[in-house]
Amino acid sequence: MHFHVLWLDGVYGWEPGRRCADAVGTGGRHRSELAVATPRPANPTHEPQPDRVGSVLRLSLDSDNFLDMNFPTCRLPGSACLLALAWATGGLLAQTGGATGAAASVERVVVAMGTTLRIELTASGRATGLAATEAAVRAVERVEQRLSTWRDDSELSRLNHAPIDVPFALSAELRRDLEAAAAWWRATDGAFDPTIGTLLFAYDVRGAGRWPDLAMLQAARHDSGFTHVAFAADTLVRRRAVQFDAGAFGKGLALDAAATAALAAGASAVTFDFGGQLLVRGGDTEVCASFAIADPRDRHRAVLRLEIPGGSVATTGNSERGRTVEGRRLGHILDPRSGRPAEDFGSVTVWCAEAGAADACSTALFVMGPDQALRWAAAHAEVEVLVLHLVGEQLRARATPGLRRRLAALVPDLELP
């Protein structure tokens, strides 16, 4: 059995020509897979990057069944996408017609919104499954086009640059997004607030980081807050130079849109992993999906297993994006109420039915801190919460009752009451 090579060459943020190929023997059957390796961000800080949407081609060749090809469209501005493909010998192409009516599982990986989206779904057949993955990707692209502030042509960026005190016409979709954000802002008493773009700039969260002086911090706080925007009919008016940022809710909304699109296109069950946020919909609700929760000090070390029948799981912490600036630890999560970085105590994991709510609430509850987060969750039955709290060198897990019974410790040094 031999392989030809798939590669993406000259693609922004990828390693040109990188590829991997694996052959797996399974008894009397032989299955080979070819896939582009995981994308490597172009900047060494691993911060989200603008305008980067790519695709991974995955091939599965099964010697007694079929050749399964997932060809996502390569959409990378200013780059050449070169694909060279052949297949293992043995006449596998001639066998592709034999399983067209069987239920199929399809996997796909794309790069979107500065991170990786992994799609796994089931459908009545391969053609339907592939169409469902394409519908999901297109849905994510539409959300990114609407909400990304890494690109000047997005609707949210245009709102941020609109004149103050002049009504800005909103699309129905952006109005829905911002009204949902306003609801989460109210529900969390301002611990979640997407109008802190000026604060993010003051701390240079997207760059090397900095500690702003008092004047810069006061100016940023002056131009932050949902209280300084107003909805009117199909418009929104900014009363101050408020800058929206979708970093704490855009990915969740994209997941909800992707799942809705995939199911509408014929998928019967979907599982998404979008930069670590998970969403499960459809399928047998008696069968739980199992996920690992990482140590907030080391994302490669799993400390808990969580099983859920559906819904979305989002985790917020500073482990990957905190940095030291002027000798002081600076996290990327800011408290909108004080204008200061949130306390870096560990991590918060939230389980909700909807991904948008899980995304927003995980940020808000991290900002609140362990004790307030659990008190807040006790008053909101639709939200289940896990707090991983570092007390000295001891890692402690605290969870709401609905989540506690779904957790299992994976390491002996975790304190799990």
Is residue 229 within 8 A of residue 238, CB to CB? The reply is: yes
pLDDT, tens digit (0-9, with 9 covering 90-100), for 366-394: 999 999 999 999 999 999 999 999 998 89
Q: Write down which residue in 182, 217, 238 finishes a domain.
A: 238
pLDDT digits (tens, 9 = 90+) for 27-43: 333 333 333 333 333 33
Q: Which residue has the tokens 């739980």?
A: 288
CATH number of the domain residue 348 falls in: 3.10.520.10
Domains in the chain, number: 2
In single-letter form, the type of residue at position 243 comes to Q
pTM confidence score: 0.78
Max CA separation in the chain (angstroms):
72
DSSP assignment string, 114-147: TEEEEEEEEESSHHHHHHHHHHHHHHHHHHHHHH
Q: Could you give the CA distance from residue 98 to residue 259 in angstroms, rounded to a whole number?
A: 29
- Owner of token pair 């993955």: 133
Gyration radius from the chain CA atoms:
23
| Lowest pLDDT segment from 89-103, 117-131, 402-416 | 89-103
- For the cut 80, the answer to whether the pLDDT of residue 399 exceeds it is yes
Segments forming the whole domain that contains residue 411: 284-415
Following DSSP, what letter does each residue of 160-187 receive, concatenated? HTSPTTS-EEPPHHHHHHHHHHHHHHHH
Q: Does 83 reside within a domain?
A: no
Residues 289 and 407 in one domain: yes
- For residue 103, being part of any structural domain is answered with no
Residue 92 counted as domain residue: no
Instruction: Give the model confidence (pLDDT) of 108-139 as tens digits.
Output: 999 999 999 999 999 999 999 999 999 999 99
Alpha-carbon torsion angle 394, 400, 404, 410, nearest 10: -30
DSSP string of 39-98, one letter each residue: P--SSTT----SS--EEE-EEEEETTS-EEEE------TT-B--------TTTGGGGGGG
Instruction: Tell whether 306 and 399 lie within a shared domain.
Output: yes
Q: With respect to residue 268, please indicate whether it lies within any of the assigned structural domains.
A: no
Q: At residue 24, does pLDDT exceed 80?
A: no
Looking at residue 200, which CATH number applies to its domain? 1.10.3980.10
Residue 352: predicted pLDDT:
96
Within-domain flag for 341: yes
Provide the phi-psi class of 28: left if phi over 0, else alpha when psi is between -120 and 50, else beta: alpha
Report the alpha-carbon distance of residue 123 to residue 127 in Å, rounded: 9
- Note the residue count of the chain: 417
Residues 157 and 149: their CA atoms lie apart, in Å, by 5
